[in-house]
């Protein structure tokens, strides 16, 4: 809005009298280089992210590959019908690097901090190979601990998996299943990009580094404005403003690399 106001103040309305091709090009750039990538990033999170609750149910907590392939084909056909160039986003990432997942040992390291909230971290967290969905586990543990305190009881936070329940615990088998599914989806996206000569980049440019320099600390998690780090929003799934900028820079690099428009400059 500020840009529009500045333009209207600094320029006469006649400056808007441009060839229709300019407006068409601008609209295509907006849709194919902004709207479509954001849509596909959100779709990737929607289709894979819910599996973090700790129970794998086709069509509910994850999208089966066959359905994903069908939906992706519809998007590809729609883009191809315009005859325009495009940038297409691959969901390729390692779920273990997702900002809302922490190792059992990270949970165990915060035993003293949890104790202050009437939560006892079970000894099974000390050597468990499981990953914990903290956005689900931490609020439940603290609220339950507070509710039990008046009765002289304490809540126990376990890192063990309870099969068939929404326990917010992912086993190595769960992680491997989702990572394999993600790899299938990513291969399909990258195949379409190669066949159509489109630019492409992977969500891993953001999510695979999102926890760098963000060790799990309970107090910081509860009080920080950025509990999942600088790149991830408060919901622990979508990119923050800084993360969106990082994705946009990756898209820019991919576009320049594929279509040769200027020099590609990768951000660090």
At residue 25, the pLDDT reads 53
Q: Which residues of the chain register pLDDT less than 50? A: 1-3, 6-8, 39-52, 54, 263-268
Q: Which residues pair with 103 in a beta bridge?
A: 131
Domain extent listing, the chain: 18-259
At residue 203, the pLDDT reads 93
Q: Which residues pair with 24 in a beta bridge?
A: none
Tell me how crowded residue 111 is: count the other CB atoms within 10 A of its CB. Answer: 17
Place of tokens 């068409």: 24
At residue 71, the pLDDT reads 92
At residue 20, the pLDDT reads 56
DSSP 221-252: HHH-S-TT-TTB-TTSSSB-HHHHHHHHHHHH
pTM: 0.75
At residue 76, the pLDDT reads 93
At residue 263, the pLDDT reads 45
In sequence order, what E strands does the chain have? 87-90, 101-103, 119-121, 131-133, 155-157, 169-170, 199-202
Task: Report the C-alpha gap between 183 and 166 in whole angstroms.
Answer: 24
CB-based contacts of 130, cutoff 8 Å, min separation 6: 104, 159, 160, 161, 169, 170, 171, 172
């Amino acid at each position: 809005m500020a840009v529009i106001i500045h333009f209207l103040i600094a320029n006469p309305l006649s400056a808007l009298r441009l060839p229709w091709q300019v407006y068409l090009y601008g609209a295509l750039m907006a849709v194919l280089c902004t709207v479509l990538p954001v849509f596909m990033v959100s779709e990737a999170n929607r289709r894979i992210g819910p599996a973090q609750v700790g129970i794998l149910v086709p069509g509910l907590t994850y999208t089966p590959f066959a359905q994903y392939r069908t939906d992706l084909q519809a998007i590809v056909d729609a883009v191809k019908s315009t005859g325009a160039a495009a940038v297409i986003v691959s969901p390729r990432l390692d779920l273990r690097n997702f900002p809302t997942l922490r190792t059992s040992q990270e949970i165990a390291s915060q035993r003293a901090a949890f104790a202050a909230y009437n939560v006892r971290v079970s000894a099974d967290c000390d050597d468990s190979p499981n990953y914990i969905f903290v956005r689900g586990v931490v609020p439940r543990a603290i609220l339950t601990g507070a509710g039990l305190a008046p009765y002289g009881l304490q809540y126990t936070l376990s890192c063990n998996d309870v099969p068939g329940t929404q326990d917010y615990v992912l086993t190595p088998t769960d992680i491997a299943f989702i990572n394999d599914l993600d790899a299938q989806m990513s291969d399909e996206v990258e195949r379409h990009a190669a066949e159509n000569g489109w630019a492409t980049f992977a969500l891993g440019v953001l999510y695979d580094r999102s926890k760098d320099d963000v060790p799990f600390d309970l107090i910081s998690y509860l009080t920080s404005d950025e509990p999942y780090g600088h790149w991830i929003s408060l919901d622990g799934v979508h990119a923050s403003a800084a993360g969106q900028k990082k994705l946009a820079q990756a898209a820019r690099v991919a576009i320049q690399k594929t279509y040769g428009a200027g020099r590609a400059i990768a951000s660090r």
